[in-house]
Amino acid sequence: KQLVFSGVQPTGNLHLGNYLGALQKFVALQDTYECIYCVVDLHSLTATLVHDDLADQTRGIAAAYLASGLDPKKNIIFNQARVPQHAELAWIFNCVARIGWMNRMTQFKDKAGKDRENASLGLLAYPSLMASDILLYRATHVPVGEDQKQHLELTRDIAQKFNNDFSKRISALGYGVEMEVGEERVSGFFPLTEPLIEGPATRVMSLRDGTKKMSKSDPSDLSRINLSDDADAISRKIRKAKTDPNPLPGDVEGLAGRPEAENLVGIYAALAGVPRDQVISEYGGRQFSDFKPALADLAVEKLAPINAEMRRISADPAYVDGVLRDGGERAGARAEATMKQVHEIIGLLAD
């Protein structure tokens, strides 16, 4: 059975990278898969424990989910803290995973910086909690941007080690599910989850520097388009986006070595829902002074309605809380069922 899970942290404004790498994909998947979309508030404690307005940030991400077009009836939309089993399974995964696995994570190295001894233990264990999010629902597919790929590989490593360590108990209890690993068919309790990292905008880059990822933490607001930006701000940022002096190339191969051009073409393609070569067949050979206004118009056309809808939904926090509460109950029922089996597999007396 196929199930999609993904999550977004409630830290700062969402930007175009989050939208194209994640939210837009979430919406596209809701018609074909059963989907669970989480606001991962516990994850946001790993960098700084104290936030000014965590509850409102959490509601803000939920509002962005809804404004992008996610249907709260069709999907389960909730925040992580409502389902305590996320933290419980993460503890068990802390005992499955090895410290070396965590030390190798590039995101940990980047975020911890030089003073690793002073990073929170939660930051090191972050990928365990992420594996728990996914495997608590035995999700088979996870739509994310390119930057989460390594975390998803680690999620598979954790699932595989758990399945191996407990293989006898899993089959004695009859809890194994058949799955394909490469050419082999094996039985295990947790699936080996597949990342869904596809399309022209899996890694949206800064508008000021085509070699840096578009990110919430970049000090320059001109580097990113926020989902909260109005039409003027969107147009201005695209007009000011860094480019090289040459016109757009005549074919997709010509984008190689031109990170800014490649980024803008990728953004256009993802917003329009077409492959990059279609954008190039229309704009190849044209100057950025032609292409940028077209990109700005497209971005405003796609993002302005989401922005307006986010404002409308955010004006009614009780509605948003209702969605998260309802989603939390539905997620909680599934989480409880999984944890009951996990307790039995491990031999934890808990009922």
Residues annotated catalytic, as ranges: 111, 213, 216
Q: Is 69 left (phi over 0), alpha (psi -120 to 50) or beta?
A: left
Q: Which is nearer to ligand TYM, 148 or 170 (CB)?
A: 148
Compute the least distance from the CB of residue 247 to ligand TYM, in Å: 26
Q: How far is the CB of 8 from ligand TYM (least distance, A)?
A: 4
CB atoms within 10 A of CB 204: 25
Residues 224, 192: contact at Cβ < 8 Å?
no
Minimal CA–CA distance to 249: which of 222, 281, 215, 205? 281
Annotated binding residue 322: no
Q: Give me Rg for the CA atoms of the chain.
A: 21
275 known ligand binder: no
d(CA 280, CA 30): 30
Q: Please tell me whether 53 is known to bind a ligand.
A: no
| Cβ proximity to ligand TYM, 66 vs 170, nearer residue | 66
Instruction: Please give the residue whose beta carbon sits closest to ligand TYM in the complex.
Output: 21
User: Which of 170, 310 has the CB closer to ligand TYM?
Assistant: 310
Question: Measured from the CB atom, is 140 or 148 closer to ligand TYM?
Answer: 148
Closer residue to ligand TYM (CB): 136 or 339:
136
> Rounded to the nearest whole angstrom, what is the least distance from the CB of residue 31 to ligand TYM in the complex?
20
Q: How far is the CB of 287 from ligand TYM (least distance, A)?
A: 26
**First-to-last C-alpha distance (Å) of the chain:** 28
Least distance CB 171 / ligand TYM (angstroms) = 28
146 a known binding residue? yes
CA pair distance 334, 167, nearest whole angstrom: 22
Residue 132 annotated in ligand binding = no
- Residues 187 and 172: their CA atoms lie apart, in Å, by 12
Rounded to 10°, the helix 149-165/121-135 angle is 70
Cβ neighbours of 56 (radius 10 Å):
14
- Is 232 annotated to bind ligand? no
Look up residue 337 and give its amino acid: A
- Pairwise CA distance, residues 218 & 205, whole Å: 11
Contact residues for ligand TYM (CB under 6 A)?
5-9, 17-18, 21-22, 40, 43, 130, 133-134, 142, 144-145, 147-148, 151, 202-204, 213-214
Instruction: Give the residue numbers of the binding site.
Output: 9-11, 17-18, 133, 145-147, 204, 213-217
Instruction: Give the residue numbers of the binding site for L-tryptophan.
Output: 133
Instruction: Give the residue numbers of the binding site for ATP.
Output: 9-11, 17-18, 145-147, 204, 213-217
